[in-house]
Amino acid sequence: MSTNPSNESGARREPPAGERVADWADGRLGIYSLAKANMRKIFPDHWSFMLGEVCMYSFIIIILTGVYLTLFFHPSMNEVVYDGSYVPLQGQLMSEAFNSTMHISFEVRGGLLIRQIHHWAALIFLAGMFVHMMRVFFTGAFRKPREVNWLFGFLLFVLGMFTGFTGYSLPDDLLSGTGVRFMEGAILSVPIVGTYISMFLYGGEFPGHDFVARFYSIHILLLPGIMLGLMVAHLILVFYHKHTQFAGPGKTNNNVVGMPLLPVYMAKAGGFFFLVFGVIAAIAAIASINPIWGIGPYRADQVSTGAQPDWYMGFAEGLIRVMPGWEINLWGHTLVLGVFIPLVIFPLVLAAIAVYPFIESWVTGDKREHHILDRPRNAPTRTAFGVAWLTAYLVMLVGGGNDLWATHFHLSINAITWFVRITFFVGPVLAFIITKRICLGLQRRDRDKVLHGRESGIIKRLPHGEFIEVHEPLSQEQLHTLTAHEQYQPAEIGPLVDENGVERKLKGSQKLRAKLSTAYFGEENQIPKPTAEEYKEITSGHGHH
Amino acid sequence: MSSQDIPEENLPAEQESAAGEVADERNPFADPGLPPHEPRIQDIDERAAKRSERTVALLFTLSMLAAVGFIASYLAIPVDKSIYVFPLGHVSALNFALGLTLGVALFAIGAGAVHWARTLMSDVEVADERHPIEASPEVKAKVMADFRQGAKESAIGRRKLIRTTMFGALTVVPLSSLFLLGGLGPKPGTKLRHTAWRNGKLLVNMNTNQPMRPSDVAVGSLTFAKPEGLEEHDEEFQNEIAKAALMLVRLEPVDIKDKKELEWSHEGIVAYSKICTHVGCPISLYEQQTHHVLCPCHQSTFDLSDGARVIFGPAGHALPQLRIGVNADGYLEALGDFEEPVGPAFWERG
Amino acid sequence: MKKLSARRRHPLAAVVVLLLALAATGGLYAAFAPASKAQADETAQSLAIEEGKKLYQVGCASCHGTGGQGSSDGPSLVGVGAAAVDFQVGTGRMPAATSQGAQVPRKKTIYTQAEIDQLAAFVASLGAGPAVPTTNEYSPEGADLGRGGELFRQNCAQCHNFTGKGGALTHGKFAPTLEGVSPKHLYEAMQTGPQNMPSFPDTTLSSENKKDIIAYLDAVNSDETKNPGGLELGGLGPVSEGLFAWIFGLGALIAVAVWVAARTAKAKKS
Q: How confident is the model over A232-259, as pLDDT tens digits?
A: 999 999 999 999 999 999 999 999 999 9
Decide if pLDDT at B248 tops 50. Answer: yes
A130: in domain: yes
The answer on pLDDT for C244 being more than 60 is yes
Going by pLDDT thresholds of 50, 70 and 90, the confidence category of residue A303 is very high
Query: Would an 8 Å CB–CB cutoff place A452 in contact with chain B?
Result: no
Cα dist from A304 to A391, A436, B154, C153, whole Å: 29, 43, 65, 7
Count the Cβ atoms, other than its own, within 10 Å of residue A9: 9
Q: Do the domains at C1-132 and C136-226 have one common CATH topology?
A: yes
Instruction: Tell me, yes or no, whether A418 lies in a domain.
Output: yes
Of B212, B285, B289, the CB nearest to C14: B289
What's the full length of chain B, in residues?
A: 350
CB contact under 8 A, B245 and A362: no
Partner residue opposite B12 with nearest CB, options A486, A493, A513: A486
Percentage of chain B surpassing pLDDT 70?
A: 93
* In contact, A520 and A488? CB cutoff 8 Å: yes
Question: How would CATH label the architecture of C136-226?
Answer: Orthogonal Bundle (1.10)
Residues A232, A123 share a domain: yes
Question: How much of chain B exceeds pLDDT 90, in percent?
Answer: 81
For position C12, what pLDDT does the model report? Answer: 57
Mean pLDDT, residues A292-299: 95
- Partner residue opposite C242 with nearest CB, options A123, A286, A288: A123
Range B191-349: architecture per CATH: 3-layer Sandwich (2.102)
Which residues of C are less than 8 Å from A301 in CB distance? 154
Is residue A270 located within the same domain as residue A392? no
What amino acid occupies position B217?
V
Whether C267 sits inside 8 A of B41 (CB atoms) is: yes
B4 band by pLDDT with thresholds 50, 70 and 90: very low
A175 to chain B, closest Cα gap in Å: 10
A167 lies in the same domain as A246: yes
What is the complex's ipTM, to 2 decimals?
0.91
- Chain C residue numbers with beta carbons less than 8 Å from the beta carbon of B283 are 158
Asked if residue B272 has pLDDT above 60, the reply is yes
For residues A289 and A217, state if they share a domain: yes
Tell whether B53 is within 8 A of chain A (Cβ): no
Question: What integer best gives the mean pLDDT of chain A?
Answer: 92
In chain B, % helix, strand, coil (3-state, to 5) comes to 40, 20, 40
How far is it, in rounded angstroms, from Cα C202 to Cα C191? 7
Q: Are residues A124 and A253 in the same domain?
A: yes
pLDDT greater than 80 at residue A327: yes
Residue A168 forms part of a structural domain:
yes
Q: Which residues, numbered 80 to 119 in chain C, qualify as contacts with chain A under a Cβ-Cβ cut-off of 8 Å?
A: 101-102
**Distance of residue C139 Cα from the nearest chain A Cα, in angstroms:** 16
Q: Which one, of B137, B96, B142, B117, lies nearest residue B53 by Cα? A: B117
Cβ-based neighbours of A460, under 8 Å, separated by 6 or more: A467, A468, A469, A470
Q: Is residue A33 included in any domain, yes or no?
A: yes
Task: Pick left, alpha or beta for residue C137 (phi over 0 → left; psi -120 to 50 → alpha; otherwise beta).
Answer: alpha
A387 with A318, same domain: the answer is no
User: How far apart (Å, rounded) are the C-alpha atoms in residues A434 and A431?
Assistant: 5
What is the extent of the structural domain holding A484?
375-491+506-545
8 Å CB contact between A121 and A281: no
CB contact under 8 A, A255 and B10: no
Of residues C103 and A51, more confidence is placed in A51
| Structural domain boundaries in chain C | 1-132, 136-226
Position B22 scores a pLDDT of: 45
Binary contact (C260, A50; C-beta < 8 A): yes
d(CA B228, CA A539): 93
Q: What is the structure's pLDDT at A1?
A: 43
- Give C74's strand partners: C71
> Distance between CA A472 and CA A539 in Å, rounded?
11
Taking residues A35-43, report their average pLDDT. 91
pLDDT, mean of residues A278-282:
97
CB within 8 Å: C226 and B82: yes
Residue C14 in this model has a pLDDT that exceeds 60 = no
Between A373 and C66, the more confident residue is A373
State whether residue B312 is helix, strand or coil: strand
Mean pLDDT, residues A478-486 taken together: 91
Question: What number is the average pLDDT over the span B108-124?
Answer: 95
Q: Residue A335: inside a domain, yes or no?
A: no
Q: Is the minimum CB–CB distance between C169 and chain A shorter than 8 Å?
A: yes
User: Contact A199/B185, CB-based, under 8 Å?
Assistant: yes
Taking an 8 Å cut-off on Cβ atoms, the answer to whether C235 and A296 are in contact is no
Paired strand residues for A329: A334
- Confidence band for A541, pLDDT divided at 50, 70 and 90: low
End-to-end CA distance of chain A: 57
Q: What is the pLDDT of residues C80-118, one digit of tens each?
A: 889 999 999 999 998 887 666 788 889 899 899 999 999
Hey, is A313 helix, strand or coil? helix
| Residue type, position B23, single letter | A
Over residues B159-183, mean pLDDT:
91
Question: How confident is residue A335, by pLDDT bands cut at 50, 70 and 90?
Answer: very high
**How large is the average pLDDT for residues A14-39?**
92
A127-136, A159-168, C227-236: lowest mean pLDDT where? Answer: C227-236
Domain count, chain A: 3
Task: Strands of chain C (E only): list them.
Answer: 167-168, 174-175
> Do A417 and A276 share a domain, yes or no?
no
Distances in Å between the Cα of C28 and the Cα atoms of A154, B97, B203, C203 are 64, 55, 21, 9
pLDDT score, position B28: 84
- Calpha distance A213→A208 (Å, rounded): 11
Q: What is the pLDDT of residues A422-455, one digit of tens each?
A: 999 999 999 999 999 999 999 999 999 999 888 8
pLDDT of residue C28 exceeding 60, the answer is no
Contact residues, B window 93-122, toward A, CB-based 8 Å cutoff: 94-100, 102-114, 116-118, 121-122
User: A460 lies in a domain?
Assistant: yes
B123/C228 touch (CB, cutoff 8 Å), yes or no: no
Q: CA-CA distance, B270 to B283, in Å (whole number)?
A: 15
What mean pLDDT comes out for the span C49-62? 89
CB contact under 8 A, A480 and B32: yes
pLDDT on residue C7: 46
Residue C45 C-alpha, separation from nearest chain A C-alpha, in angstroms: 41
Asked if C228 and A106 come within 8 Å (Cβ–Cβ), the reply is: yes
Do A521 and A479 lie in one domain? The reply is yes
Sorting pLDDT into bands at 50, 70 and 90, what band is C17? low
Shared domain check, A114 and A14: no
| B317 closest CA partner among B275, B336, B345 | B345
Please state, in angstroms and as integers, the Cα–Cα distance from residue B223 to each residue in B200, B216, C124, C217, following that order: 19, 10, 26, 20
pLDDT one-digit tens code per residue, B119-156: 999 989 999 999 999 999 999 999 999 999 999 999 98
Burial profile A51-67: b = 16 or more Cβ within 10 angstroms, e = fewer: bbbbbbbbbbbbbebbe
Quickly state the pLDDT bin for A3 (edges 50, 70, 90): very low
What tens digit of pLDDT does each residue of A284-295 get?
999 999 999 999
Q: Are B117 and A267 in contact (CB under 8 A)?
A: yes
Q: What is the pLDDT of residue C31?
A: 46
According to DSSP, the β-strands at A372-373 and A245-246 are parallel
Residue B1's pLDDT is: 37
Query: How much is the pLDDT for C269?
Result: 53
Q: Is the pLDDT of residue C33 over 90?
A: no
Contact, A39 vs A261, CB < 8 A?
A: yes
Give yes or no for residue A513 having a pLDDT over 80. Answer: yes
pLDDT of C9 > 70? The answer is no
- pLDDT at res. B7: 44
Q: Which of A312-326, A487-501, B329-343 has the lowest mean pLDDT?
A: A487-501
Interface touch B215/C203, C-beta < 8 Å:
yes
| Secondary-structure class of domain C1-132 per CATH | mainly alpha
User: What does the pLDDT look like over B222-240, one tens digit per residue?
Assistant: 999 999 999 998 989 999 9
Q: How much is the average pLDDT of B109-115?
A: 97
- pLDDT tens-digit series, residues C198-214: 999 999 999 999 999 99
Chain C within 8 Å of A544 (Cβ-Cβ)?
A: no
From the list B15, B128, B300, which residue is nearest A253 (CB)? Answer: B15
| pLDDT value at residue C24 | 53
Please tell me the predicted confidence (pLDDT) of residue B14: 41
CA distance C241 to chain A (A): 7
Q: C129, A234, C170: which is closest to B218 by C-alpha?
A: C129
